[in-house]
Amino acid sequence: MSAQYFAQIDDNNVVTHVAVVQREFLEANPQRYTGRWVETFFDTDGKTYAGIGFTYDEVSEDFVAPVSPVIEDEV
């Protein structure tokens, strides 16, 4: 079987952890993989691979990167 990637998301749909694990193992071990896990894809066109701090959009079923704050140069 090929590797599968899953992102653990919190109540606000923010990614808190990303793991490489087979779906069957994840589902068979709820005490080890607590909370909600969503599959993320590494090499799929049109999809974003999840990273910690990304937000899961349930409508598009994709992950959105956090917006970096604009840092103004000190004068």
Higher pLDDT, 33 or 68: 33
pLDDT exceeds cutoff 80 at 72: no
pTM for this model (two decimals): 0.84
In a domain, 74, yes or no: no
Q: What is the largest CA-CA distance in the chain?
A: 57
In a domain, 75, yes or no: no
**b/e per residue 19-46 (b: at least 16 CB within 10 A):** eebeeeebeeeeeebeeebbebeeeeee
Least confident range from 16-20, 48-52, 66-70: namely: 66-70
In a domain, 69, yes or no: no
pLDDT at 67: 87
In a domain, 72, yes or no: no
In a domain, 73, yes or no: no
For 1-49, what is each residue's pLDDT tens digit?
Answer: 678 999 999 999 999 999 999 999 999 999 999 999 999 998 888 899 9
Specify burial of residue 4 (Cβ count, 10 A radius: 0-12, 13-18, 19+): middle
In a domain, 56, yes or no: yes
Q: Measure the CA–CA gap between 31 and 73, rounded to whole angstroms.
A: 47
Single-letter residue type at 39: E
Structural domain total, the chain: 1
The boundaries of the domain holding residue 10 are 5-64
